[in-house]
Structure 1
Amino acid sequence: MQVYGQSFECTFLSAKQTWKAISYLINTHCASNVNGFINSFRVEAVIRKLGDPKEQHKTVLALALESGFNSKSTFNQVFRQHTGKSPSQYLLVQK
């Protein structure tokens, strides 16, 4: 199997070996660790929901929790790292 130009032999791996392989690929080819990689998808999910009229009745925190964040502080920190703005600053710019 070829992934990003690297050859990998397709064999049955244990869950631990599989996780290590996934982590290696993310660290090597995405310039991020696994948590950062997953959190970037979570932030993008929140941003999509913020623009969805069907989600307008929900708070930003509710959208963050639905997207997989476990706390407000983690969400705010990751959102700022990803967008360069706090969630409230981002909303002001979008309106």
Structure 2
Amino acid sequence: MAKGFWIAHGRVDDIVKYDLYRAANAAPLAEFGGRFLVRGGARETVEGEAKPRTVVIEFPSYEAARACYDSPGYQEALKLRQGISESDLVIAEGWDG
């Protein structure tokens, strides 16, 4: 079964309030097996445009990635992020090759 991924490019406008979002999203991410592969850090946009922060979260399956996003726990956490950051988020199915 192919893994699932959240791939986000974002901008944080209020780091103090964003920390509340990060604390709140920990439980739903753990519940659905989410694991950070990229969480900020150094990066370089070599083609096109992207917001200044990149996050990649791996899930055991595409279905788990979707279920996590749709879960009541994550939707409550998401409310904390709205208005203090901007993000482009893609949920993608991995390739088993």
For this structure pair, what is the TM-score category when the shorter chain's length is used for normalisation? under 0.3
Asked which structure has the greater RCO (Cα within 8 Å, sep 6+), the reply is 2
**TM-score (norm: length of structure 2):** 0.27
| Structure 1 or 2: more helix by fraction | 1
**TM-score (norm: length of structure 1):** 0.28
| Structure 1 or 2: more strand by fraction | 2
